[in-house]
């Protein structure tokens, strides 16, 4: 199964240069945990894929201060954004970014075959 997430352009750059090695999410597609092949990343407002990555592992946590202390630098986001994003959420998921595939030229969605529909909740 493949899924789509939306990230700001600067976080895509952080993934490509190796600074961002963990992606923060409010959810994880629990039924498909072992079956996710690729996470396709798009920039908000654009219907093209620039980057895809594989998840090598994930951490579920509700200890937000612990998460920020140990993983904040690898998330590449400011603390105030982290605090707002995790507010009133029972738990968060940290996806460990593995293999990265980068398209030198953005790929239109029409050129990608997906196993499932894109979850609309995976948007910043």
The answer to whether 28 and 122 are in contact (CB under 8 A) is: no
Q: Look-up: residue for tokens 């400011």? A: 78
Q: Averaged over 14-35, what is the pLDDT?
A: 83
Global pTM value: 0.80
The per-residue pLDDT for range 29-84, each reduced to its tens digit, is: 665 566 778 888 887 777 778 889 999 888 999 999 999 999 999 999 999 999 99
Distance of CA 41 to the CA centre of its chain: 7
The pLDDT score that the predictor gives to residue 122 is 45
Mean pLDDT rounded to a whole number for the chain: 83
- Report the C-alpha gap between 98 and 103 in whole angstroms: 16
Per DSSP, which regions of 12-91 are E strands?
22-25, 38-43, 48-61
Q: Averaged over 81-110, what is the pLDDT?
A: 88
Which are the contacts of 86, defined by CB distance < 8 A and separation ≥ 6?
24, 26, 64, 92
Q: How confident is the model at residue 106 (pLDDT cuts 50, 70, 90)?
A: confident
């Amino acid at each position: 199964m493949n899924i789509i997430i939306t990230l700001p352009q600067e976080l895509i750059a952080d993934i490509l240069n190796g600074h961002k090695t963990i992606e923060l999410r409010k959810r994880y597609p629990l039924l498909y945990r072992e079956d996710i092949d690729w996470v396709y990343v798009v920039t908000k407002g654009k219907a093209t894929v620039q980057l895809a990555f594989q998840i090598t592992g994930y951490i579920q946590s509700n200890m937000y201060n612990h998460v920020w202390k140990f993983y904040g630098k690898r998330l590449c986001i400011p603390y105030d954004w982290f605090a707002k994003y995790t507010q009133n959420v029972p738990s968060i998921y940290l996806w460990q970014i593995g293999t990265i595939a980068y398209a030198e030229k953005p790929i239109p969605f029409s050129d990608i075959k997906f196993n499932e529909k894109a979850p609309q909740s995976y948007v910043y």
